[in-house]
Amino acid sequence: MKRFCLISASLLLFIEIGLFGCSNVGNIRSSNEECQLDSLVQYRDTIVGKFNGIDIDTLICEPIGKLIKDELFGEFYTEWRVYTTKGTVEELKIGNTIGIEFVKEGDLDGNKTDEWGFLTQWPTSSWTVYELFVFDEGKWELMVEPIRIWRDHLETSFSESDIAQPSNKEGFIKIKTSDVIDEVTNWIVVDTIVPITPKAYSYELVEW
């Protein structure tokens, strides 16, 4: 029995070496161990761009603070940080959302920096807001006021990448937003242009 176990172990190692090479076996095991230890990997999102207008960098979001455990909605975070791997732009802290999925916008306003946005997420609301960010004068700012979106419109009328678009009018961008006509069932999509008015970004973090 001991001999059989020894042969089996040797055969398994031989298969690993044959498939991946001697130098990669340890790397594969190490990578798997890191994934198991990194409990935040499932929450992260990344995009690549020139967020300061000069350097190519990777933007990353990940949760911070405490993990909320709710009997009805399960486990989630409400506080996040956004940072880059090279540190070419300052870190940004975001609250009032249980998730962040980046939308890469590119250079919407012609200032040579790449903008990005995200839709706020909550378990019970059919409404969301689109937050659009620009790195301006050394800090992250909202490019425009938060854009209200009825979530059904994202399935029937447009996608996240359609919400903000460049405009031919200098100092403005085109946006899609949702509005209500009769306050009950008639939600409409509004296409308009809005002025670019960067504002200091601030949220009150939600306490649960």
Over residues 72-89, the pLDDT tens digits come to: 899 999 999 999 999 999
pLDDT digit string, tens, across residues 161-190: 999 999 999 999 999 999 987 766 678 999
Q: How far apart are CA 125 and CA 157, in angstroms?
A: 19
In a domain, 96, yes or no: yes
Residues 72, 169: one domain? yes
Domain count, the chain: 2
Residues 60, 21: one domain? no
Residues 179, 125: one domain? yes
Structure tokens at 6: 């020894």
Structure tokens at 82: 């956004």
pLDDT tier at 198, thresholds 50, 70, 90: confident
In a domain, 208, yes or no: no
Q: What is the mean pLDDT of residues 108-134?
A: 94
Range of the domain at 24: 1-37
C-beta of residue 177 within 8 angstroms of C-beta of residue 190: yes
Residues 102, 49: one domain? yes
Q: What is the pTM of this model?
A: 0.77
Mean pLDDT, all residues of the chain: 82
Residues 87, 177: one domain? yes
pLDDT of residue 69: 93
